Structure 1
Amino acid sequence: MPINQSQNSFTSDNGATKPHALKRTMSVWNCFTLGFSVVSPVVGLYAIFGVQNLVTGGGWISALALCLVMQMMVAAVYAELSSQFPIAGGAYKWARQLIGPRTGQYAGVIYVSSTIAMLTTTAYTGGMWLSAVFIGGNVQGPTAVLSGAAFLLICTMVNLVDQSIFKVINLLGVCAEVIGSICVALVLFFFFRVHPVSELFQHLGTGLAPTDIAAFLAAVAIAGWAFIGFDACSTIAEEAHNPERMIPRAIFLSLCAVGTVVLFNSSSLMLSVEHDVLVEASATSDPISPIITSTIGAWAAKPFLAIVMIAFLSCGSSVVNYVSRIVFSMAREGNMPAHLSHVTRHKIPRNAILTTISLSGLGLLFGLNDGAVATIIAFGTGGLYAMFSMTTGVGLYARLTGRWNPALGALKLGNWGLAINAVAFVWAVFELINIAWPREYVVAAGAPWWQLWAVPLVLGSILGVTTLHILINNKYRSTKNETQKASQQV
């Protein structure tokens, strides 16, 4: 039997209406800027640019383009689901509503843990930029952790005040992205380009990867980080006006905009410097700033640092918003402590925000060990692709079994919907395996074995603990019911 297809079925397991709700204040522009800030061209580019050049040697633009096209397929499934179920928590809630509470539990645990890892990574890296602007120099160890904590504190304040402040920060982040990404890339492409476009497709296999095929597969895996986060738009559906139409638009717009910018920026950077210089710069923690200053001029260093810092702060604040709505939704369904579903008089899920920040802050402690930080980064990407796999898998299963009728949603893909869903599922599973695959040439030299197997180890542990929790909880409920029946008979 198909489940209830109502768009706003906020009910508990016993059918009672939940009292906690969020306030609709977000326009399609606000939803777009949130998604744009979470995916963030600046953050995505800094995360992959140097690693791509070192591992592949070059020629990785085609892998980046492939990843973008396939992620658009995944985004189409998210858009189709959000047009029919515009509910806080997004993919977590869809898994619960389309398949059942147990599936929702697994989805929620994967979603929260991977997005917390994503926030920890953003805070750790963003803290370095915060320190670079106000202190200068590279920071490591305890200093990097403290800088990340300061970064998280700023993101906390942005999210705890009125939503209007959050919108302003998002707008500043978009402006910083436009100046720091698009404008700089245009200047480099038109005034400092030294190579023909064909340079973008050369040098593949000249890096650390042993073969051309290995280099391409690694490039696809690394590119995966640049195109995650568009699903943030779906988690704020209860705060958007006309969400069944606005959220799908925001999902597509944010991913298309970020994808275009990342592709163009990457191309401009690679065409503006000699290949040997590019590879040498990629071996440093900041491969892009030296390229900017050596081409445009030393005067651009400080302004560029400030622009990147603003972009990171906007990204971090948006990720806090994104993760806290998942936590809020899970708490409202009874899968997390109930107090996390409470909202303030301004309809802000303060407890969920503070819990999100606290968990991410604990994750920052891994910054005291470089290997542990790399594990967090790897799991953040792999965990989200596990979520993409689960969501597209849930959508495909529900579609084929009649649990979900996509024709009832505002976004109608018609006969294309099934094909797109199937392709998105196959891609998400492939990319998850590709990211999780142990590659010694991607991690630091001499990395321990557990770092090579970070994604399957962490993901397997989380799923194992979740399964144990479900089994113990079921046993407890069964024993409780038997006790109650026995007492009634007496």
Structure 2
Amino acid sequence: MTAVEKKDLFSAADSRSADGTETEYGNTRETGQLRRCMSVWNCCTLGFSVVSPVVGLYAIFGVENLVTGGGWIAALILSLFMQLTVATVYAELSSQFPIAGGAYKWSIHLIGPKTGQYAGIIYVSSVIAMLTTTAYTGGIWLSAVVMGGDTQGASAVIWGGVFLLICTLVNIVNQRIYKIINLLGVSAEVLGSICVALILFFFFRINPVSELFQHLGTGLAPTSITAFLAALAIAGWAFIGFDSCSTIAEEAHNPERIIPRAIFLSLLAVGSVVLFNSSALMLSVSHAMLIESSATSDPISPIIASTIGVWAAKPFLIIVMTAFLSCGSSVVNYAARIVFSMAREGNLPTFFSHVTRKTQLPRNAIAGTVLMASLGLLFGLNDGAVATIIAFGTGGLYAMFSMTTGVGLYARLTGRWNPTLGALRLGKWGLAINIIAFVWALFELINIGWPRDYIAAPGASWWQLWAVPLVLGTLLILTTLHVQTGYKRAIKKVLDITAPGDIRKQVDKNTL
């Protein structure tokens, strides 16, 4: 492939006519194109923010300690290593097909429209569920900073709505505003959380490093084996979000090289910080106090207050709130690009594929995404319902990881995908890594979805324990009915509109 041909392969969003209205995507008012304005740093901070170290730490720290009793750092390390194999498959695909929508679009290109419909429904549903839970939890932290005290019920839902409104404004004004806010949020979070962890590790550490690998099986899980499997399932909550980098490929400069780098950098950065911060917290207090604080809704602040001092609690609270705002803004950005891509394909109303002429932002998709997440916030009126959304948000993303790595493996083995055409070439290692990634993603999906009463909230109903398979199964059934009853979208037409010529020629024989 010549340099010119290679450039054309990735230049769909750059192909504009003189008047700026007609492109390979058609009229920009209907099937708009996004502006290339994201650097590798911007893409990396997006992935970093979607599941930030502080948010990820709060998601897993208390639950891990209660369920396993301790010794779960080994599971966290294993989970991070295995997620790197999944990230490698995403990096390979994004280096060859850097298109808005990421994994959703790859399913269409490599297998076909039906596969794309399943991928799109699972992807957008799980990411919007993720946005709902981020808004619900972030609203509680926002309320704690502004008003003080604990917020529950209807008040938590209202504050969640305020949180979503702030995240929406950050995204719809201008992409430059989003980049600035996100950079400030990431900087404050990294500096704040790492500084606190360093202080704990060097000045308040009371336990030897061996403490990190002790007490496994002394928690709510009945045996050491079940505790380790549960620890793997919970650890999976902290290492999602790197795939968001692939969804903004059409907004990145030189995306075939930048997006793979951003995927690896974001996952490694989050993983490193979560590992270090978790270790610092566990080594700075006694095991008895660790378990006691883990039983509260805020398992980390009591540890900081008891070691560094009560004065540090308020600044740390502000850091946590900033992290959640950065995370929420990035998840809005992430989810809106999937909605935009699905609308451009015809799998959602084309209204969501419109972009603004001046800023080239998919504001309709952003508004639609936030509206769906806002409706989901109403489930926050019921603790059981919001717990179900939280469980599905993670399980749905691992279903997407399983599907994407499976699609990549099938396409690789059947000759539908030739990875040597991408900018990232792994040679014979690519197949081996793809197999490992698929097996791991499928295992983790089953592991996360497996009903365990010792992970769920006390007194949880049976449908809460089975939340992941129930919601995922319902989505699959509804999507199958949609496909089989003839309400298929005009994928061929959209491929002619959205895919660059070289990509279209390469995949038409496989997709239609």
State the TM-score bracket (shorter-chain normalisation).
Answer: over 0.9
Residue number among 198, 207, 210 corresponding to 2:222 in the alignment: 210
Aligned pair in 2 of structure 1 residues 9, 347: CA closer, same or farther (>3 Å)? closer
After TM superposition, list the pairs within 5 Å mapping 1:399-438 onto structure 2: 399-438=412-451
Gaps (5+ residues) in structure 1?
Answer: 478-490
| TM-superposed deviation, 1:456 | 0.3
Q: Does 1:93 align with 2:99?
A: no
Amino acid at match of 1:156: T
Report if aligned partners of 1:39, 1:226 keep a CA contact under 8 Å in 2.
yes
Report if aligned partners of 1:52, 1:60 keep a CA contact under 8 Å in 2.
yes
Report if aligned partners of 1:8, 1:86 keep a CA contact under 8 Å in 2.
no
Question: Matched residues in 2 for 1:146 and 1:476: separation?
Answer: 37
Residue number among 481, 495, 503 corresponding to 1:468 in the alignment: 481
After TM superposition, list the pairs within 5 Å mapping 1:32-431 onto structure 2: 32-345=44-357, 346-431=359-444
Report if aligned partners of 2:201, 2:283 keep a CA contact under 8 Å in 1.
yes
Report if aligned partners of 2:66, 2:295 keep a CA contact under 8 Å in 1.
yes
Residue number among 452, 455, 465 corresponding to 1:452 in the alignment: 465
| TM-superposed deviation, 1:18 | 3.8
Question: Matched residues in 2 for 1:453 and 1:105: separation?
Answer: 24
Report if aligned partners of 2:193, 2:319 keep a CA contact under 8 Å in 1.
no
Gaps (5+ residues) in structure 2?
Answer: 1-5, 16-22, 491-512
| TM-superposed deviation, 1:8 | 5.4
Q: TM-score, normalised by structure 1?
A: 0.94
Question: Matched residues in 1 for 2:251 and 2:438: separation?
Answer: 28
Q: Deviations over 1:39-90 (max 9, x none)?
A: 2000000000000000000000000000000000000000000000000000
| TM-superposed deviation, 1:180 | 2.7
Q: TM-score, normalised by structure 2?
A: 0.90
| TM-superposed deviation, 1:175 | 1.2
Question: Matched residues in 1 for 2:185 and 2:234: separation?
Answer: 24
Question: Matched residues in 1 for 2:462 and 2:233: separation?
Answer: 19
Report if aligned partners of 2:95, 2:255 keep a CA contact under 8 Å in 1.
yes
Report if aligned partners of 2:62, 2:294 keep a CA contact under 8 Å in 1.
yes
Amino acid at match of 2:155: T
Amino acid at match of 1:461: T
Number of residue equivalences: 471
Report if aligned partners of 2:25, 2:33 keep a CA contact under 8 Å in 1.
no
Amino acid at match of 1:375: T
SS in structure 2 at match of 1:473: coil
Question: Matched residues in 1 for 2:381 and 2:489: separation?
Answer: 39
Question: Matched residues in 1 for 2:99 and 2:151: separation?
Answer: 41
Question: Matched residues in 2 for 1:475 and 1:99: separation?
Answer: 16
Aligned pair in 2 of structure 1 residues 239, 297: CA closer, same or farther (>3 Å)? same
Report if aligned partners of 1:32, 1:250 keep a CA contact under 8 Å in 2.
yes
Report if aligned partners of 1:180, 1:308 keep a CA contact under 8 Å in 2.
no
Report if aligned partners of 1:86, 1:243 keep a CA contact under 8 Å in 2.
yes
Question: Matched residues in 1 for 2:174 and 2:458: separation?
Answer: 46
| TM-superposed deviation, 1:476 | 11
Report if aligned partners of 1:55, 1:218 keep a CA contact under 8 Å in 2.
yes
Q: Comparing 464-473 with 198-207, which one deviates more in the overlay?
A: 464-473
Aligned pair in 2 of structure 1 residues 476, 158: CA closer, same or farther (>3 Å)? closer
Aligned pair in 2 of structure 1 residues 328, 476: CA closer, same or farther (>3 Å)? closer
| TM-superposed deviation, 1:354 | 0.4
Q: Deviations over 1:344-384 (max 9, x none)?
A: 12100000000100010111111111111110010001000
Report if aligned partners of 1:176, 1:308 keep a CA contact under 8 Å in 2.
no
Question: Matched residues in 1 for 2:131 and 2:96: separation?
Answer: 28
Report if aligned partners of 2:188, 2:322 keep a CA contact under 8 Å in 1.
yes
Q: Deviations over 1:408-431 (max 9, x none)?
A: 000011110000000000000000
RMSD of aligned residue pairs (Cα, Å): 1.7
Question: Matched residues in 1 for 2:324 and 2:371: separation?
Answer: 19
